[in-house]
Chains A and B, each alone.
Chain A
Amino acid sequence: MSAPTHTPETWGLLAEFDTADALIAATRRAREAGYTKMDGYSPYPIGEVADELGFPRSEIGAIMFTGGLVGATMGFLMLTWVSWVEYPLNIAGKPYFSWSMFIPITWELLVLTASVSGVVGLLALCGLPMPYHPLFNVPGFARATKDGFFLAIEAEDPRFSPTTTKDFLSGLADVKSVEEVPA
């Protein structure tokens, strides 16, 4: 383990901005300054912030595609196996493998499994539910769901230093406040 570069009581530093554009600009500056362990927080999604954070594409599409594909395949195989092998019924003289009649249920299972895997994927990747997070210790952070735009640089960042990082954040354009986040 490398020597800690920060006081262990600090989770990171949190800078608040008034507008979404200021947060986008600040994130870009922080990235250019070489910070990597950071995140932006806002009351509504701002794609540019995620872009600047180096997260241009989420994993959700691949997860839902896989989930849907697995669900639909398993569903279709289940219908085929039941209707053809396990419990063959003669319905109006139709073939046991009347695949076109399996499509509606296959489709419904595709949608169901894709949706469930997407939601489970979102929660798992975001680490939710997470009732406690160090950021919630900062009283002003409640504005992140109201009208505040925040940039947090975490103490785990190799370039993090309680003093220089604080100076860096305070020097950003349109910054409203910089606060220390207790761990």
Chain B
Amino acid sequence: MATVSAPSTVGEQAEPEFFTDDEHLIGGKQNLVTIGEKIGNVCLGEVPIPKGWWIMFLSGFTLLQALVLGLAWLFYMGVGVWGINSPVFWGVAIVNFVWWIGIGHAGTLISAILLLMHQKWRTSLNRFAESMTLFAVMCAGIFPLIHMGRPWLAYWLFPFPNNMAVWPQFRSPLCWDAFAVSTYFSVSLLFWYIGLIPDFAYLRDHAKNKIQQMVYGMLAMGWRGSAIHWRRYEKLYLILAGIGTPLVFSVHTIVSFDFAVSIVPLWHATIFPPFFVAGAIFAGFAMVIWLAVPIRHWYGMKDLITTTHLDVCAKIMLGTGLIVSYGYFSEVWMAFYGQSVYEWDTTLQRMFGPYGWSYWLLILTNTIIPQLCWMKKFRTNELLLCLVAGSVHIGMWFERYVIIVTLTRDHLPSSWGRYAPTLWDYAAMFGSLGLFLTLFALFMRFLPMLSITEMRELLPRSAGGRDGHAVMENAK
């Protein structure tokens, strides 16, 4: 197969080479059996564990100890061990919360929104992207809890009749947030598990030993692929995708309300919800790229996650990055055009004040560097693409950092202050990365990284599949 790549006259080649045919979504000679073996054998222990997996798992597990230590010290001493104090009470913990939950959103976007939009290329990404969502939401959920000061009273966020005769304050976005994040986690978990059931049935039927057979058998719950069951299953899957789509928008909108409903200058902005949602997808696709590359390399999945997939992810990252950049422009423009002295002065403080470096770093990493994705080389070369995605990770973290350090200088100069995170802030932050890496490494080893069922549907009819058309058409 000749790879035509020399002249970059985009208009001529891009059209026939991508999207129009399925051959670029599945490489090699695949059929129903090879798809199952390729993905399932990793879980069944038939594939030797790659070195990279050990590096990922052990480094993740080491970092996880930082989280354990950091939380133990935090619970013993209280939130004073962090750098938070007046006027910045929302420190790195909230930055990390928003960063992680944003990363999670790409998983739902890929599995739900792209399903509704008949995008066949979602198929090889949705399973690990959904897992990424779950683990990222777990990491995110830690931060508001430990930020409470008395995390053992976290259940007060939820309404239940109690002998203190008090109820939550339902007009507060922080209360909405508790509902949004817990619903998001629960629904993502259900969606993920329902998708896994037929794959568990495959693993049960092809288990290599008794333990695998029992564990996967219990998880498969006796699934036997009945046509009647499939019909209900597909309908459920479609509706979950249908309500998952507005759910993901609502969750990050509510996260942005945490800021936007306040009266802090530059926080109190109507641009926040769309700006946050676009940022979430931007960050999430960067993480999908970071996770897709090791899966391709360590487990030889290049036939199933092709260069076309990376290319498409990079384009979405570029597109959402432009929306985010428009958000940065809009913030400055509204401050200028709104004629509010506080808004405009805070903007100047943000750009040229003591934390101005973080603003320009944000513009560099989130707006300027992602523009490299206009070049095809940066979209299809794994190393270059990972570097751009890394820049987005840094940029999206700094976006929220810039937002919280806005608190250092607001309306009243006498209450201005400085904020610096301490070692224990970073212990929780990098520790949460350790939790994510550990969970994701275990997922790669024990659960099917790609959806076996949906990859089989994606196969052309000549190879036993359904041309990827089944999901939407069968759901009745």
Residues of A within 8 A of B204 (CB): 145
Query: Once the chains bind, are B227 and A133 in contact (CB under 8 Å)?
Result: no
Query: Once the chains bind, are A82 and B226 in contact (CB under 8 Å)?
Result: no
Residues of B within 8 A of A49 (CB): 227
Residues of B within 8 A of A109 (CB): 179, 183
Binds A, one of B4-12, B164-172, B386-394: B164-172
Select one of B165, B217, B243 contacting A111, CB under 8 A: B243
A60-B235 Cα distance, complex, nearest whole Å: 6
A109-B254 Cα distance, complex, nearest whole Å: 14
The number of chain B residues with a CB under 8 A from chain A is 69
Query: Once the chains bind, are A45 and B233 in contact (CB under 8 Å)?
Result: yes
A110-B250 Cα distance, complex, nearest whole Å: 12
Bits for A117-156, please: 1 = Cβ < 8 Å to B, else 0.
0110111011011111101100001101111000000000
Q: A58-B231, A136-B224 are known contacts. Are A102 and B202 too (CB-CB below 8 A)? A: no
Query: Once the chains bind, are A53 and B190 in contact (CB under 8 Å)?
Result: no
Residues of B within 8 A of A101 (CB): 170-171
Select one of B167, B218, B465, B476 contacting A131, CB under 8 A: B218
Bits for A88-121, please: 1 = Cβ < 8 Å to B, else 0.
0101001000100110110111111011101101
> Does A160 interact with chain B (Cβ within 8 Å)?
no
> Does B106 interact with chain A (Cβ within 8 Å)?
no
Q: A46-B470, A135-B224 are known contacts. Are A94 and B236 too (CB-CB below 8 A)? A: no
Q: A101-B171, A114-B243 are known contacts. Are A53 and B228 too (CB-CB below 8 A)? A: yes
CB within 8 Å of A: which B156-186 residues: 159, 165-173, 175-176, 179-180, 183, 186
CB within 8 Å of A: which B195-233 residues: 198, 201-202, 204-206, 217-218, 221-233
Residues of A within 8 A of B206 (CB): 142, 145-146
In angstroms, how far is the closest chain A Cβ from the Cβ of B125? 18
A39-B228 Cα distance, complex, nearest whole Å: 7
> Does B409 interact with chain A (Cβ within 8 Å)?
no
Q: Pick the most buried of A109, A122, A123: most chain B CB atoms within 10 A of its CB.
A: A122
> Does A175 interact with chain B (Cβ within 8 Å)?
no
Q: Pick the most buried of B31, B221, B224: most chain A CB atoms within 10 A of its CB.
A: B224
A147-B464 Cα distance, complex, nearest whole Å: 8
> Does B194 interact with chain A (Cβ within 8 Å)?
yes
> Does B361 interact with chain A (Cβ within 8 Å)?
no
Bits for B1-39, please: 1 = Cβ < 8 Å to A, else 0.
000000000000000000000000000000111001000
Chain A interface residue count: which class?
Answer: 35 or more
> Does B343 interact with chain A (Cβ within 8 Å)?
no
A115-B226 Cα distance, complex, nearest whole Å: 22
> Does B264 interact with chain A (Cβ within 8 Å)?
no
Select one of B32, B176, B239 contacting A43, CB under 8 A: B32
For B197, give the chain A residue with the smallest CB separation: A128
For B232, give the chain A residue with the smallest CB separation: A58
> Does A44 interact with chain B (Cβ within 8 Å)?
yes
Q: Pick the most buried of B169, B172, B243, B247: most chain A CB atoms within 10 A of its CB.
A: B243
Select one of B233, B244, B456, B471 contacting A122, CB under 8 A: B233
Residues of B within 8 A of A56 (CB): 476
Bits for B462-476, please: 1 = Cβ < 8 Å to A, else 0.
001110001101101
For A49, give the chain B residue with the smallest CB separation: B227
Bits for A55-95, please: 1 = Cβ < 8 Å to B, else 0.
11111110010001000000000110011001101010010
Residues of A within 8 A of B471 (CB): 45
Q: A145-B198, A145-B201 are known contacts. Are A115 and B190 too (CB-CB below 8 A)? A: yes
Query: Once the chains bind, are A132 and B222 in contact (CB under 8 Å)?
Result: yes
> Does A25 interact with chain B (Cβ within 8 Å)?
no
Residues of A within 8 A of B172 (CB): 91
> Does A40 interact with chain B (Cβ within 8 Å)?
yes
> Does A19 interact with chain B (Cβ within 8 Å)?
yes
Select one of B190, B218, B224 contacting A41, CB under 8 A: B224
In angstroms, how far is the closest chain A Cβ from the Cβ of B186? 6
Query: Once the chains bind, are A105 and B473 in contact (CB under 8 Å)?
Result: no
> Does A47 interact with chain B (Cβ within 8 Å)?
yes
In angstroms, how far is the closest chain A Cβ from the Cβ of B139? 20
A20-B464 Cα distance, complex, nearest whole Å: 7
Select one of A50, A135, A145 contacting B474, CB under 8 A: A50
Q: A129-B221, A144-B224 are known contacts. Are A58 and B171 too (CB-CB below 8 A)? A: no
Query: Once the chains bind, are B33 and A55 in contact (CB under 8 Å)?
Result: no
> Does B240 interact with chain A (Cβ within 8 Å)?
yes
Query: Once the chains bind, are B171 and A91 in contact (CB under 8 Å)?
Result: yes
For B214, give the chain A residue with the smallest CB separation: A131
For A47, give the chain B residue with the smallest CB separation: B474
> Does B334 interact with chain A (Cβ within 8 Å)?
no
Query: Once the chains bind, are A133 and B228 in contact (CB under 8 Å)?
Result: no
Query: Once the chains bind, are A142 and B205 in contact (CB under 8 Å)?
Result: yes
A98-B172 Cα distance, complex, nearest whole Å: 12
Select one of B33, B221, B224, B476 contacting A57, CB under 8 A: B476
Select one of B175, B180, B231 contacting A45, CB under 8 A: B231
> Does B325 interact with chain A (Cβ within 8 Å)?
no
Residues of A within 8 A of B222 (CB): 128-133
Residues of B within 8 A of A116 (CB): 186, 190
Closest 5 CB pairs of A and B: A47-B474, A130-B222, A129-B221, A45-B230, A147-B32
14 example contacts (A-B, Cβ-Cβ < 8 A) are as follows A43-B32, A45-B471, A46-B466, A46-B470, A82-B170, A87-B165, A101-B171, A108-B183, A115-B243, A118-B240, A126-B232, A131-B217, A135-B224, A145-B198
12 other A-B residue contacts (CB within 8 Å) besides A126-B229, A128-B222, A146-B202: A45-B231, A45-B234, A46-B227, A46-B230, A50-B227, A64-B239, A104-B250, A104-B257, A129-B221, A136-B224, A145-B198, A145-B202
